[in-house]
Amino acid sequence: MIDRSVFRSLVLAGLFVAVSLAHAAETTRPRIGLVLGGGGARGAAHIGVLEVLEKLRVPVDCVAGTSMGGLVAGAFAAGLSPAEMRSELARADWNDMFLDSPPYTEVNYRNKVISKRFLPASEAGVNSKGLTYQGGVVSGQKIKLFFNRLVNSDLGEREIETLPLPLSIIATDIGNGDKVVFRSGSLTKAMRASMSVPGLMAPVDYQGRKLVDGGLVDNVPIDEVRDHCQADIVIAVNVGSPLMKAEDVGSLLSVSVQMVNILTEQNVTRSLATLKPGDIYIKPDLEGISAGDFVKSSETADRGREAALAVADRLQALAVSDEVYSAWVNRIAYVRAESPVIKEIQVAGLKMVNPAAVERQIEARPGDRLDDKTLNRDMLRIYGDGWFESVDYAMLTARDRNILRVLPAEKSWGPDYLRFGISLESNFRQDSTYGLRLGYDKTWLNPLGGELIVAAEIGNAPGLLLDYYQPLEAQQRYFFDSSLAYGGRPFNLYQDNNKVAEYWRTRGLVAAGVGINVGLLGQIRTGWRQIWQEATLETGIPSAIFPAKSSESYGGEYVTLDFDQMDRLFFPSKGWSSKLAYFNSSQAGYSKVTADVEAAYPIGDFVVSSRLSYQGSLNGPLPYYDAGSLGGFLNLSGFTRQELNGDNIRYGNIRVEKIIGHFPLGLRGDLRAGVALETGKVGTPYTQTQLSGWMNSATVYLGGETPLGPFYLGYGRSDSGSSNVYLFLGTP
């Protein structure tokens, strides 16, 4: 019988021999460099190539990548398996990822108010440099957070120089056209920079440089693996998009895309010319898959797998034993540790914004175990405040304390902004209207976040607006708000389904009040409102209720409760909203109540919605100059906008919409076809007095939220025989 100590010695000796042999095999085999080229969504093919290398037991000694190839190369060098990468790309919502803003439910009420009047994408900065703009359609906020999660940055920043595989990621200095190679520093920043397609994604600021897509200078960086790790054999994967045919190049966009493709193909040709006889070149067949087809990531990966299997005999020659390959896998694999417990939260890098305003959006607290979903939601909430061009984080350990450092980067094109809005509306009769809006938004007037908006509108309803918003404490829960407005607009009278008169109304308003921000749910406010109003008959015959000329001055206290948990401002897919407004004017002898409730619910590609509303007075009848109204798109669509006026108005609808299309990456919105059934009743009518009881309307329409605001083309018909066609684009 063998002594235990002898047995233990034999086992250890065996293990030593095995390790030594594996090490010897490692040192004698050729050094392999893997090169993953750029190509947008076509880069998912790299995952299929990695799957084949894994299947054949082919280890690599260093990796280099550009653009989407940089993303896959970074994830691979960080220890993610091909299966994990395939799963992450397949479940990623790329349409949402290229929209920087957080879910609409996570946007604060103040920003929602601004978005109702001005186009979010129209923002131009005003500073000492004059007018400045965001560097791309997409800031890349969600993309950067996705990269963080992909490589487990929530457990601590992944530095390239500390990764188990030598890694190079290629970017381009847009200022001078130089190639920039990341071999150290933040992994996720390098990945983000390499994927910054000019014009689509904003450049990345790095050491005084602005970096964009590396494909402009080196889309298949073969020389990099030879220089960086002295690779004996190069496996190069090219997934670049081919040049378009001359007859397909016509639009400004297609010309721009073709120019970029030409630059890319030129450097790819030069790079491929450096391949040696022993190198392996893989070019997957990606016919029918464009650079923007991220939703086809699984199919694209399969195409890459097929291409790698086509050269399996050459790859097989690079295979190693099970033992050697297992040792290599264990060396590069990432073993996720337990999420750390946060001991401290720091907000760093702010110059203008009060840190307390950022901290109010952070749900994580010291003592909590870090949760990456909560962390990402917090970052998006902070970004949604509208003051930052990006919000990132870093997990640090100092003196055995886990520190979550939040890193908001204030907008380089702020702190003041010009905002624009448009509205175009027609019923294909004589009631077409248009409006152009310009607003000057001056932010952070003081440490609490005071904001002043001065706006003007020209068109059929010209007007001026001055609004001052002042938070009363650093967390911005309580606020003071005041406004001054003056403008005019046409107002039509209808009787017996015909327009009988047209008035010009001018209105001035002064209001001041205080309010409470109820988290991200909405807002409650109260105050005083004073109104001056005049109306003059332009054409037609006045009615008994509406005189040919009138002038009123009245004021009173108001209370509003406005909660909005819809997922979108216009054409929502899910959620609910409610608004209750009360205005009491003892001067005029009435109290007006307006109530509105709406809900939406998705069922596959369909959205089912409903809305209920009420307009009336609790004390005395509504005066003609502040009457409630029905008419217009999805407000009893068989009637023209504000055709039905009166007191004690009730309305309800139910709508079914089918999503029939989406805008390309980086452009918000979808297109829908919808039908609506509506009903309404004016208890005391001031116009269309011949109508009594409940009125019904049926509506069909095409519409959706576009980059220019909501769009719809609809037709509504009432059971009384009246009908209307609606065309609208812009912000109401």
Q: How confident is the model at residue 22, as a pLDDT?
A: 44
**Residue 566 pLDDT class (50, 70, 90 cuts):** very high
Closest-CA residue to 427 (of 687, 185, 726, 679): 726
Identify the sign of the CA torsion 76, 81, 82, 88.
Answer: negative
Give, rounded to a whole angstrom, the gap between the first and last alpha carbons of the chain.
92
- Report the alpha-carbon distance of residue 71 to residue 47 in Å, rounded: 11
Angle at 349 between CA 343 and CA 350, to 5 degrees: 110
Q: How confident is the model at residue 20, as a pLDDT?
A: 47
pTM as predicted:
0.84
Q: How confident is the model at residue 23, as a pLDDT?
A: 47
Are 353 and 471 within 8 A, CB to CB? no
Task: Please report, to the nearest 10 degrees, the dihedral formed by the alpha carbons of residues 632, 634, 639, 645 taken in order.
Answer: -70
Q: How confident is the model at residue 15, as a pLDDT?
A: 45
Q: Which residues contact 533 (CB under 8 A, 6 or more apart)?
A: 505, 506, 507, 508, 550, 551, 552, 553, 625
Of the listed ranges 235-249, 321-335, 338-352, the one predicted with least confidence? 235-249
Residue 83 has pLDDT above 80, yes or no: yes
Token representation of residue 145: 């957070």
Token representation of residue 158: 């992944």
Residue 13 has pLDDT above 80, yes or no: no
Look up residue 391 and give its amino acid.
V
**Residue 251 pLDDT class (50, 70, 90 cuts):** low
Closest-CA residue to 579 (of 591, 600, 563): 563
Place of tokens 């008169």: 501
- Report the alpha-carbon distance of residue 123 to residue 108 in Å, rounded: 18
Q: How confident is the model at residue 21, as a pLDDT?
A: 44
Q: How confident is the model at residue 103, as a pLDDT?
A: 83
**Residue 254 pLDDT class (50, 70, 90 cuts):** low
Q: At what angle do helices 297-309 and 45-56 cross, to 10 degrees?
A: 40
Closest-CA residue to 79 (of 160, 189, 169, 194): 160
Q: How confident is the model at residue 666, as a pLDDT?
A: 53
- Report the alpha-carbon distance of residue 385 to residue 399 in Å, rounded: 33
Are 63 and 341 within 8 A, CB to CB? no
Residue 232 has pLDDT above 90, yes or no: yes
Look up residue 295 and give its amino acid.
V
Instruction: Give φ, ψ of 367 to 5 degrees.
Output: 100, -20
Residue 1 has pLDDT above 50, yes or no: no
- Report the alpha-carbon distance of residue 129 to residue 578 in Å, rounded: 42
Most confident range (mean pLDDT) of 252-261, 384-393, 620-629 is 620-629
Q: How confident is the model at residue 484, as a pLDDT?
A: 98
Burial of 564 (0-12, 13-18, 19+ CB in 10 A): buried
Are 38 and 67 within 8 A, CB to CB? yes
Q: Which residues pair with 704 in a beta bridge?
A: 671, 711
CB burial of 276-308 (b: ≥16 within 10 Å; e: otherwise) equals eeebbbbbbebeebebbbbebbeebbbbbbebb
Q: Which residues contact 113 (CB under 8 A, 6 or more apart)?
A: none
- Report the alpha-carbon distance of residue 487 to residue 585 in Å, rounded: 22
Q: How confident is the model at residue 18, as a pLDDT?
A: 45
**Residue 668 pLDDT class (50, 70, 90 cuts):** low
Residue 574 DSSP class: S
Place of tokens 């073993």: 335
Percent residues over pLDDT 90 in the chain: 64
- Report the alpha-carbon distance of residue 316 to residue 58 in Å, rounded: 8
Residue 497: left if φ>0, alpha if ψ -120 to 50, beta else—which one? left
Average pLDDT estimate for 678-705: 94
Q: How confident is the model at residue 12, as a pLDDT?
A: 47
Task: Please report, to the nearest 10 degrees, the dihedral formed by the alpha carbons of residues 135, 141, 147, 149 taken in order.
Answer: 170
CA-atom Rg of the chain in angstroms: 31
- Report the alpha-carbon distance of residue 263 to residue 208 in Å, rounded: 25
pLDDT greater at residue 512 or residue 144: 512
Instruction: Give φ, ψ of 361 to 5 degrees.
Output: -95, 0
Of the listed ranges 138-142, 391-395, 665-669, 690-694, the one predicted with least confidence? 665-669
Average pLDDT estimate for 577-600: 96
- Report the alpha-carbon distance of residue 374 to residue 261 in Å, rounded: 39
- Report the alpha-carbon distance of residue 646 to residue 489 in Å, rounded: 19
Q: How confident is the model at residue 731, as a pLDDT?
A: 87
Count other Cβ atoms within 10 Å, centred on residue 616: 20
Token representation of residue 150: 């992909």
- Report the alpha-carbon distance of residue 700 to residue 722 in Å, rounded: 15
Cis upstream peptide for 415 (omega within 30°):
yes
Token representation of residue 459: 């068109």
pLDDT greater at residue 134 or residue 345: 345
Residue 339 has pLDDT above 90, yes or no: no
CA 357 and chain centroid, separation = 21
Angle at 288 between CA 287 and CA 289, to 5 degrees: 95
Collapse the DSSP code of 264 into the 3-class scheme (helix H, G, I; strand E, B; otherwise coil) and give the result. Answer: helix
Whole-angstrom CA distances from 474 to 237, 470, 565 are 53, 11, 24
- Report the alpha-carbon distance of residue 279 to residue 236 in Å, rounded: 8
Hey, which residues are catalytic here? 67, 213
Burial of 721 (0-12, 13-18, 19+ CB in 10 A): exposed
Look up residue 539 and give its amino acid.
T
Q: Which residues pair with 529 in a beta bridge?
A: 511, 556
Q: How confident is the model at residue 732, as a pLDDT?
A: 82
pLDDT greater at residue 32 or residue 27: 32
Average pLDDT in the chain: 89
Q: How confident is the model at residue 261, as a pLDDT?
A: 75
> What digits encode the pLDDT tens for the residues 149-208?
888 887 777 899 999 999 999 999 999 999 999 999 999 999 999 988 887 788 898 888
Q: How confident is the model at residue 137, as a pLDDT?
A: 72
- Report the alpha-carbon distance of residue 109 to residue 561 in Å, rounded: 12
